[in-house]
Amino acid sequence: MSARRPAPADAGELGIAEQVALYQREFPTVDPQVETIVSTLSRVSRRMNVAYGRQLAVLGITSAEWEVLKALVFAGAPYRLGPGDLAKRLGLTPAAMTHRIDRMVTDGLVTRERDEANRVRVIIELTETGRDKWLELMRMAAVFEADLLQDIAPEERGALAGLLSRMLRRIEQTQPDALGRTEDLD
């Protein structure tokens, strides 16, 4: 009697081993280890994005708004940037950034004010509500991420982080456009 394997979250989705076996059937020279790693990373990424999306929905913000909040927090106190700086950091056109900021101002996540030192310049600043939402999402994400990594021992986490960092560096070196469209935003 064989051990019963748990059904994938989506009953129509193949298990990684089954997917790799099909790749090998159709493309016999494929490296099964490489395909297993890449397919697993892809699936982990998709499922993490779904989980983070649920957390964002609980807080009533979009992933696009989260990126703006994060950029402002990363800028440091007083959590302010010009819309052009935000657009560059997020790989957006100025028009797309303006649309995003409009929604966030309406929702009370950021303010848009003229710079007192240069009345032509606009400053986008994180509000207390925006910072509170950022902090709450960070708390929610920390719980999710701790649970996600519970089966990986602390000493293994360093090795995993190093391996994934090397993969990321390789992608960034060989696929410079993988960061998104930024060449015309200078």
79-117 residue pLDDT tens: 999 999 999 999 899 899 999 999 999 999 999 999 888
Under the banding of pLDDT at 50, 70 and 90, the label for residue 26 is very high
Q: Please report the pLDDT score of residue 10 as a whole number.
A: 57
Contact 73, 166 (CB under 8 A): no
Whole-number Å distance between alpha carbons of 51 and 14: 20
Looking at CATH, the fold of the domain delimited by 63-133 is given as Arc Repressor Mutant, subunit A (1.10.10)
Question: Is residue 33 scored above 60 in pLDDT?
Answer: yes
5: alpha, beta or left, given left = phi > 0 and alpha = psi -120 to 50? Answer: beta
pLDDT in tens, 52-80: 999 999 999 999 999 999 999 999 999 99
Whole-number Å distance between alpha carbons of 139 and 135: 6
What does residue 26 show for φ and ψ, rounded to 5 degrees? -90, -25
**What residues contact 137, with CB distance under 8 A and at least 6 apart?**
55, 56, 59, 61, 66
**Domains of the chain, residue spans:** 11-59, 63-133
Q: Please report the pLDDT score of residue 115 as a whole number.
A: 80
Does the pTM surpass 0.85? The reply is no
Q: Summarize the confidence of residues 10-16 as an average pLDDT.
A: 82
